[in-house]
Amino acid sequence: MLLVFGTALTGGALWRRGRAAAVARLLLAGAGVGFVLAGLAPADVNENQHALGALLIMAAGNIGLLLTGFTLAEHSAAAPLRWGTSLLGVTAITAFGLFLSQHYLGLSMGGMERVAAFPLPLWALAAGVHGLIRRAGRLHETMPTGPLSRAG
């Protein structure tokens, strides 16, 4: 749910305008729903619901993550965040393909599933930290630096 609300609340502050940005946000919101579904139904309790949630995370979320790397606005997102977002998206999509083809590269099935699913929350953390740093910088710029006068 945090991804759904976070994606909705960022509005136009972090994103470029246009269809690609809207699609990216929609895909990320779908991944947020996937995290809820997979979290509410572990694979050993309800495998179908867990698989649906995992599919939303790894398909919609990872495509949305890659697309997000291209739709973050230059004025509000630092270049390392944009490049990192794209790199996480490529990594996650590659891991998802390996997961589907059952090539786990020495990891177990669950290990490759995590490699395919965890770039999205990692990106959400990085984007949140980036936003906090930007906000703190803006607050610091508006604070008076000289001595305050006392009225009285």
CA-closest candidate to residue 131, choices 97, 81, 94: 81
Structure tokens at 17: 């305008």
Q: How many CB atoms lie within 10 A of CB 107?
A: 15
9 has a pLDDT exceeding 60: no
Rounded average pLDDT over 50-63: 94
Q: What angle do CA 9, 50, 115 make, to 5 degrees?
A: 75
* Res 13: pLDDT: 60
pLDDT in tens, 65-86: 999 888 876 766 678 888 898 9
Q: How far apart are CA 43 and CA 50, in angstroms?
A: 5
- Which range (29-33, 95-99, 133-137) has the least confidence? 133-137
* Res 50: pLDDT: 92
* Res 73: pLDDT: 67
Rounded average pLDDT over 11-24: 75
CB-based burial of residue 24 (10 Å sphere; 0-12 exposed, 13-18 middle, 19+ buried)?
buried
Query: Can you give the pTM of this predicted structure?
Result: 0.77
7 has a pLDDT exceeding 60: no
pLDDT in tens, 26-39: 898 899 899 999 99
Which residue would you say has higher pLDDT here, 110 or 4? Answer: 110
C-alpha 7 chain-centroid distance = 9
Q: How far apart are CA 128 and CA 9, in angstroms?
A: 12
* Res 76: pLDDT: 63
